[in-house]
Amino acid sequence: MLANRPLRVLALVTDGFSGHGGIAEYSRSFLGSLAACDGIAEVIVLPRLNATPLDPLPFGVGQLPAVKGRIRYSLAALRTAIRRRIDVVFCGHLYMVPLAAALAKLVRAPLWVQVHGIEAWEELSVLHRRSIESAALITSVSRYTRRRLLAWVGVEPARIKVLPATVAPQFKPGPKPEYLIERHALHRKKVLMSVSRLASTEPYKGNDRVIRALPSVLTRYPDTLYLVVGEGDDRPRLEALAGELGLTEKVRFVGLVSSEELPDYFRVADAFVMPSTGEGFGIVFLEAMACGIPVIGGNKDGSLDPLADGVLGFAVDPENNEELVSAICSALRSARPEASRSQRFNIQFFTEHLKALRAHGLPSTNRCKREK
């Protein structure tokens, strides 16, 4: 009887149902879909960062208040795991895996670890490696991240499953929004766009590569404007680079945009570009595809998964300026592709994939062993 009881999952994450960026988006899709799986009673989310969660949360998901500080967070996780009688511990970021592994061992619950991108590509401490190796199931956002992780952990390959990101339903085709055309003076312009954090710790996103490629693009499409959506401490460097190249009027830094406006920004663009060398996956590629615009990404990282190895978008050597220029020009002159390209990444497929992983990757419960 106990063996068939629905499971309670404790999810240790950074943002939970708040925050910006690909990992936060992925976590929201993952946790909401996990709560919808058969055999899951509740997903209890304990975030590290303090932000107001979405309201309402998905059915079956409860988010606790964020707890700052490693010791306080660890104690909060321990109290929750014991008081809520947790059956599965989920770790949403590799840097938190030692804590998650210790909790899972203490309450005799299986550990499920999620890996995303660069945090999993290089060998971490012995404690991290052993903690990862104790996991019953590891899910990776891309084939590339899975391959890099397998290079330094002693885990049977069958225990690491690829679970690609999904795209939210609000991203869909539509006409170019007039209010954005007016706001950014885009009349009769070719609009090239990137969406990413502008962090000095993440220069691999490739915004500077696009800026350096722009003079060559402008010789063929002189009415092109490059919209950079996102904010961060690397913005002054990128603005200075645009100024040095005489592109101040051609590169426009939009800053952060609301989640409500983001689909319209994709629709106003003629092409999306992010020639990254360190992307774990790149949900923004899916969002752009779903809105019906061509996408350009790098061929040296996890970007190949949303691009389907070049089938669904341009996969270029991000460090080859001529190749990048050629792809941008091709994208700007091409007709808008079918938005159905992104259907393989919709939330229904994501949820079914997750259900299959949960059914085959984890035991039904350990509670019956603990309570005999």
Q: What is the pLDDT along the chain (372 residues), one digit of tens a residue?
A: 234 578 899 999 988 887 777 788 888 889 988 998 888 899 999 998 866 666 688 899 999 998 889 999 999 999 999 999 999 999 999 999 999 999 999 999 999 999 999 999 999 999 999 999 999 999 999 999 999 999 999 999 999 999 998 888 899 999 999 999 999 999 999 999 999 999 998 889 999 999 999 999 999 999 999 999 999 999 999 999 999 999 999 999 999 999 899 999 999 999 999 999 999 999 999 999 999 999 999 999 999 999 999 999 999 999 999 999 999 999 999 877 776 776 778 777 788 878 777 666 665 544 433 333
With tokens 């341009």, the residue in question is: 314
Q: How far, in Å, CA of 86 to CA of 245, rounded?
A: 57
- Contact assessment for residue 111 and residue 91, using Cβ atoms and an 8 Å cutoff: yes
Q: How far, in Å, CA of 73 to CA of 324, rounded?
A: 44
Give yes or no for a cis peptide into 56 (omega within 30° of 0). Answer: yes
Name the CA dihedral angle for 241, 245, 250, 252, rounded to a multiple of 10 degrees. 10
Q: Could you tell me the domains of the chain?
A: 2-166+346-371 (3.40.50.2000), 178-344 (3.40.50.2000)
* C-alpha closest to that of 136 among 355, 360, 351: 360
- Contact assessment for residue 191 and residue 268, using Cβ atoms and an 8 Å cutoff: yes
- Contact assessment for residue 76 and residue 102, using Cβ atoms and an 8 Å cutoff: no
* C-alpha closest to that of 173 among 290, 344, 31, 273: 290
What is residue 168's predicted lDDT score, i.e. its pLDDT?
A: 86
* C-alpha closest to that of 280 among 167, 159, 165: 165
- Contact assessment for residue 324 and residue 316, using Cβ atoms and an 8 Å cutoff: yes
- pLDDT single digits (tens) 186-205: 999 999 999 999 999 888 99
